[in-house]
Structure 1
Amino acid sequence: MHVFGFAGYSGAGKTTLIEQLIPLLGAAGLRVSLLKHTHHDFDIDKPGKDSWRFRTAGAQEVMLAGAQRWALMHERREAAEPTLADLLAHMSPCDLVLVEGFRADDIPKIEVFRPSTGRERLHPQFPGVVAVASDVRIEGDLPCLDINDAPAVAAFLRSYLGI
């Protein structure tokens, strides 16, 4: 299972780029999964629903299952935030896991960068950056990909991983 990341500050376009890459990689015959890190408290459950009631009653895990999908919610309670490796261990086998976030983890990743956000570049302070995707030409030691050319980014990713 190949793992490849996308890192950058909020508003740079990571989610939009990944959303465009998934069908392109799927059309190339790859089974693609996604793992997204969030710094915000989030909840996919709704107060009052049975699953919410079970979780708030203290269940460690609650699985929702239907004909179209299933979802497993695991309560961390007081446990430390899981590592990328911990989370990948829960993923079903596939050809490629795209990772959004986890910028400090040493996996190959594309830095998604837009100077208009006013933020600094992540490279070289964070490990694993193998290219940059931007809406402007970035000079430097890394390949610069056009963030608006998802087919070219997909081709780079497949070439880099040899898939």
Structure 2
Amino acid sequence: MNIYGVVGWKNAGKTGLMERLVSEITARGFSVSTIKHAHHSFDVDHPGKDSYRHRDAGAREVLLASRNRWALMHELHDHEEPPLADLLTKLEPVDLVLVEGYKRDDHPKIEAFRAVTANSLIAPEDETIRAVASDTALELDCPVFDLDDTGGIADFILAEVGL
């Protein structure tokens, strides 16, 4: 599977860019899956629901299924967070996996950057960042796209992975 990341600091526009890229690339006929890294605790389940009660009782995994979708929840308990490479093996084969976050991993990435956040750029110190999508003009040693140039960014990513 081809993998390409979208990284950046908080409020840099990563999720919006991911959403637009998924729409753009799937509209071109490619299959896309995504992985989103969360630095905080999260839950896709709700207290009181049967599946939550199964997990709360101690189940290691709970698979919730309906005619529209299924979701597998895996409790880590005292185990380490799995590396991205292990998570990728959980996905069915697709043309492209877009990864939001995992900025320290070794896959190719594009950095989302918004000037208003006043954060520094990651790209100058990270050779895995192949381009930057920004809301302001930047002088860098890699391609710089307008943050809203979804088509151009999609063209770049697809060319990078050979699609």
Q: TM-score when scaled to structure 2?
A: 0.97
CA–CA distance in structure 2, aligned partners of residues 39 and 125 of structure 1 = 22
Alpha-carbon distance, 1:124 to partner? 3.1
Give the match for residue 33 of structure 2: 33
Which moves more between the two structures, 97-106 or 144-153? Answer: 144-153
Alpha-carbon distance, 1:127 to partner? 4.4
Q: Secondary structure at the match of 1:160?
A: helix
Give the match for residue 90 of structure 1: 90
CA–CA distance in structure 1, aligned partners of residues 137 and 91 of structure 2 = 36
Identity score, percent: 49
Equivalenced residue count is 163
Instruction: Please state if 1:4 is matched with 2:10.
Output: no
CA–CA distance in structure 1, aligned partners of residues 53 and 155 of structure 2 = 46
Instruction: Please state if 1:123 is matched with 2:123.
Output: yes
- Asked whether the equivalents of residues 124 and 140 of structure 2 are also in contact (C-alpha less than 8 Å), the reply is no
- Asked whether the equivalents of residues 107 and 127 of structure 1 are also in contact (C-alpha less than 8 Å), the reply is no
Give the match for residue 152 of structure 2: 152
Give the match for residue 62 of structure 1: 62
Q: Secondary structure at the match of 1:124?
A: helix
CA–CA distance in structure 1, aligned partners of residues 149 and 107 of structure 2 = 23
Letter in 2 for 1:19: E
Alpha-carbon distance, 1:126 to partner? 3.3
Give the match for residue 102 of structure 1: 102
Instruction: Please state if 1:49 is matched with 2:49.
Output: yes
Q: Secondary structure at the match of 2:158?
A: helix
CA–CA distance in structure 2, aligned partners of residues 34 and 12 of structure 1 = 18
CA–CA distance in structure 2, aligned partners of residues 46 and 6 of structure 1 = 29
CA–CA distance in structure 2, aligned partners of residues 15 and 116 of structure 1 = 16
CA–CA distance in structure 2, aligned partners of residues 122 and 81 of structure 1 = 24
CA–CA distance in structure 1, aligned partners of residues 137 and 65 of structure 2 = 46
Give the match for residue 137 of structure 1: 137
Q: TM-score when scaled to structure 1?
A: 0.97
CA–CA distance in structure 1, aligned partners of residues 57 and 126 of structure 2 = 40
Letter in 1 for 2:33: S
